[in-house]
Amino acid sequence: MKKIFILTGEPSGDKLASTAILKLQKDFDDIEYLSVGGSNLNKIGIKSIFDLKEITYLGFTSVLFNIFKIKKRIDQAVDEIIKFNPDILFSVDSPDFTLRVAEKVKKRNSKIKTIHYVAPQVWIWRKGRVKKIKKFIDHILLLFNFEKKYFDEENINNTFVGHPLIEDIITNKTDINNLISRDKKIISIFPGSRKSETNVLLPILIDFIKMMNHDNLNYSFVFHATEENKDQIVNYIKNKEFKNIDVISDENMKSEILLNSIFAVCKSGTVSLQVCNANVPSIIIYKLSFINFMIFKLLVNVKFANIINIINNKEVIPELLQGECNANEIYNSVKYILKNPSIAKKQLEECNKTLEGIRSKSSSSEEVALILRNSLIN
């Protein structure tokens, strides 16, 4: 029996991995799995050696304060992988955790094939990582076609598989009328997948909602949560007497809600691609501690936080970062775009044009599953 160890470092990676593995399971059922994963991998019957929450931290200082915990988990993951002795170590995103593990595994057992999904963003910072990755990653799977040149330069085996968040939206039609009445205008809110970032953004978002409700009670605000942070959000808002806030974690429901939204407020990250793909106007928000932000500014070599803006080298989607990430600024930006349909239309046109330039010809998860399957056979 063939074996695959799946290595993730946060909920978004867990979701990406589970989607690809689900496709692989349909064609190749004689595989034994073990993982560092979360709720999505657990749902398809794949056990995790420890709770994903134990390695999910936001910001440089948070990681620094928990460095010994993280190092302990890195060493534990390496030991468990060597013991499991998989044919493939399939690592997904979270390079500061997953690639450290992969490097140590490769040193101890060079026969284990290492396939990494979601290349580290060397085009933003730490380009020198490419030379190091070459030593222990056998195949790297790219979300964006413009990334190829960085890995081609070092003759690293790579494949552009596309980004799963910009594939055609397919939902199992879900009735949202039981959740939200037809006369309500839906505003989707994406507060992030890490509990630490949700902690920072929740108070700001709640104050924003209060301001919106002061103007008009005909809005319905829907938090798009993960299984990991749903209870955190529910517990935060339950005593605040809101009648127009819902929190959802079901993927089909989230897709349907997004498609029916008039606007989205998104934590900076790749979720903005999903929002653009659903043809929903949006703004980007993010806030780090002052120290973390200064470190970030020193290390990165791009002007923008959002991938759409980075690709275009201009602000297509408004970014409210750090001091501008407050309830007043969010409220003013949302109201301005809602009151000016031409602004929203222009944003969506530029977003759609950008997506067409980076969209793959087939499903990302199917491409990944095919590569894993071929690697098991060959």
Q: Are residues 9 and 153 in the same domain?
A: yes
Enclosing domain of residue 6: 2-162+360-377
pLDDT by residue (tens digit) across 206-253? Answer: 999 999 999 877 899 999 998 888 999 999 998 788 889 999 998 888
Are 246 and 308 in a shared domain?
A: yes
- Claim to verify: residue 367 and residue 349 sit in the same structural domain: no
Task: Please check whether residue 179 lies inside any domain of the structure.
Answer: no
In a domain, residue 340? The reply is: yes
| CB 158 within 8 Å of CB 142 | yes
200 and 128 in a single domain? The answer is no
| Nearest-10 crossing angle of helices 11-27, 364-377 | 60
125 & 196 share domain: no
121 compared with 147, residue with greater pLDDT: 147
Same domain, 200 and 155: no
Q: 223 with 304, same domain?
A: yes
The pLDDT of residue 345: 97
Banded model confidence at residue 122, pLDDT cuts 50, 70, 90: confident
Domain with residue 267: its CATH number is 3.40.50.2000
Residues 211 and 293 reside in one and the same domain? yes
Percent of the chain with pLDDT over 70: 89
- Do 223 and 343 fall into the same domain? yes
Give pTM, 2 decimals: 0.77
Least confident of 17-31, 169-183, 329-343, 353-367: 169-183
Beta carbons within 8 Å of 332's beta carbon, 6+ residues apart = none
Write down the pLDDT at residue 247.
94
Per-residue model confidence (pLDDT) at position 60: 45
Please tell me whether residues 145 and 21 are part of one structural domain. Answer: yes
Domain identity same for 190 and 330: yes
> Are residues 239 and 123 both part of a single domain?
no
Domain contains 172: no
Tell whether 302 is covered by a domain. yes
| 257 pLDDT tier (thresholds 50, 70, 90) | very high
**pLDDT tens by residue, 8-67:** 998 889 999 999 999 999 888 899 999 999 999 999 999 999 988 777 644 444 555 566
Number of structural domains in the chain: 2
Residue 177 maps to a domain: no
